[in-house]
Structure 1
Amino acid sequence: HLELKHTHGKLVIQAPGTSSKNSYIKSIKLNGKPLERFNLQHAELFAQDALLEFEMTDVPQSGTSAKPVESKK
């Protein structure tokens, strides 16, 4: 869980279940809506309050070139 306060509100980033085993992104939601792309515009995150949610898995997802997320202990 990460919360960044900015001029127009706050950005909250959540990735529950992230671990050394669950290090691949299964899906992403921005403000509760599924995100079908990995690129975001600055205004999508910082023009108002925003919630970025990552669903993690232990299986690489086909059709992406995304690398595993580093888990910090």
Structure 2
Amino acid sequence: MYKTVAIIDLGSNSIRMNIIGINDQGGYSIYEQASEMVRLSEGLSEDNLLKETPVQRTINALHYFKKLIEVNKVTEVYAL
């Protein structure tokens, strides 16, 4: 069995995604790598509330990643 997985790493400054194909023997191939600078923590308030603009940048990046996931027929998604 061969499966295609996406791994998404959401950090305070950037969001990254790798799309990887994994075979039965545990070997893998990297199909796609994507990274967006979203600066999610930009303007973080003293009470740790996120600002609207960085949140919107993050949502936009996730929409882009979703398209890549669909094109690559990913069967599993893992978020870190």
- Higher RCO (Cα < 8 Å, 6 or more apart): 1
Same fold? TM cut 0.5: no
Larger Rg: 2
TM-score computed with the length of structure 2 as normaliser: 0.28
TM-score computed with the length of structure 1 as normaliser: 0.29
Flag the structure with higher helix content: 2
